[in-house]
Amino acid sequence: MMRSLFSFGHGYSAQALEQILRPRGWQVTGTTRSPDRARQLAAGGTRVILWPGSQEQEVEPAISEASHLLISAAPDEAGDPVLARWQDAIARNAGQLEWVGYLSTTGVYGDHGGDWVDESTPLTPSTKRGQLRVMAERQWQDLAADAGLPLHIFRLAGIYGPGRGPFAKVRAGTARRIVKPGQVFSRIHVDDIAQVLAASIARPNPGAIYNLCDDDPAPPEDVIEEAARLLGVPVPPAEDFATAEMTPMARSFYAESKRVRNDRIKGELGVRLKYPTYKEGLQALLQAETP
C-alpha cells in the first residue's frame, strides 16, 4: 500500500512536511477553503480538495485511502471543525491509520512568568485561543481512546520561516521593539517542524505529546534587533509595552511568558534541530533571499 498523507488544513507547516514526504514516494492530499490556494497547491503537484467548499464529497474517500492523517485546522467555539464533520469517517478508518498528528500550540500552557514548561505541565491557558486548543486536544484524545486512533499531539511555539521572518518589516521601517520586562517567547523554524513530524511518522508512539520549539526562548525585541543587525540597518527604538499603542490582538500575545522545553523531540525522536536558535534561523532566511 502506498503511504498516503491526508492533511486537513494544508497550510504552512503541512506543506513543509510535504516537501520531505513526496520525494520519498508519498501521495499527499490536502484540504483548503481557498480556491486561489487550491490552484497554487495543485500547480505544485499536491492533490487538493476544497473543504469547506464544493468538493466535500471527495473528503471521505480520501480519508479511506490514507495511511497517515495530519490536522492543522484551527478550532472554533464549537471545537475542532474536522471532528465536527468527519469524526465518524475517521473512526471507521482508524484501523488502517498508522499515524495521526494534531498540530496544537504551546499556548495551552498559559502564563508561567518566564519559567520553564514541558509536556507534563498542567494546561492553564489564559487566552481564548489557548482554551480552544485545549478543548480540541481533548476531543482528539477522546476519539483516540474510543476508536483506537494512533494520535500524536504536537504543541508548536511561534512559527517562522521563509516568508514569515522579520526582515520585511525591518526593511520597511515598520518593525517595532516592544519591551515588556521578563517577557520571553519560544519559537520554531518551519523546517524543524517538518523534520519533527517526519521523525514521529518514522517512529510512531500513539498517545505521545511533543513540544516543538528551539533551544533559545528569547525576548521578542532581541529577534528584531538581530534582524536589523544582519541587514545592517538601524535597530528600531525600544517601546515600553505599558504605553505602546497596540491592537488588542497584538497585545494579547504578550499575555503569556514561558520557556518551553524540547527534550522529548531530541530524546524520543532523535531530532537534531537545524536551527537551534533564532540567530541561525534568521541567518539562513537571509542567505536564502540572496540570489
* Alpha carbon distance 183, 177 (integer Å): 12
* Alpha carbon distance 41, 271 (integer Å): 28
pLDDT at 290 (0 to 100):
74
**Has residue 202 been placed in a domain?**
yes
Q: For the chain, what is the domain count? A: 1
pLDDT at 113 (0 to 100):
95
Give pLDDT tens digits for 201-223: 999 999 999 999 999 999 999 99
Query: What DSSP string runs through 182-232?
Result: T--B-EEEHHHHHHHHHHHHHS--TT-EEEE--S--B-HHHHHHHHHHHHT
> The domain spanning residue 71 has which CATH number?
3.40.50.720
pLDDT at 86 (0 to 100):
97
The whole-model pTM stands at: 0.96
Range of the domain at 193: 4-160+187-215+260-274
Are the CB atoms for 71 and 100 separated by under 8 Å?
Answer: yes
**Has residue 223 been placed in a domain?**
no
Are the CB atoms for 75 and 136 separated by under 8 Å?
Answer: yes
Task: At 121, list the grid cell.
Answer: 505541565
**Has residue 39 been placed in a domain?**
yes
**Has residue 153 been placed in a domain?**
yes
Average pLDDT, consecutive stretches of 10 residues, N- to C-terminus, the chain (291 residues): 91 98 96 94 94 93 97 95 97 97 97 97 94 97 98 97 93 94 96 98 98 97 97 96 92 92 98 98 92 65
> Which 8-state DSSP code applies to residue 74?
P
Amino acid at 17: L
* Alpha carbon distance 198, 162 (integer Å): 19
* Beta-strand runs (E) in 108-171: 116-117, 151-156, 158-160
Share of the chain above pLDDT 90, in %: 93
**Has residue 209 been placed in a domain?**
yes
Give pLDDT tens digits for 221-230: 999 999 999 9
**Has residue 282 been placed in a domain?**
no
Residues 32-38: contacts with CB within 8 Å, 24+ apart? none
* Alpha carbon distance 52, 107 (integer Å): 26
How many CA atoms does the CB half-sphere of 141 hold within 13 Å?
A: 12
**Has residue 82 been placed in a domain?**
yes
**Has residue 234 been placed in a domain?**
no
Are the CB atoms for 118 and 267 separated by under 8 Å?
Answer: no
pLDDT at 136 (0 to 100):
98
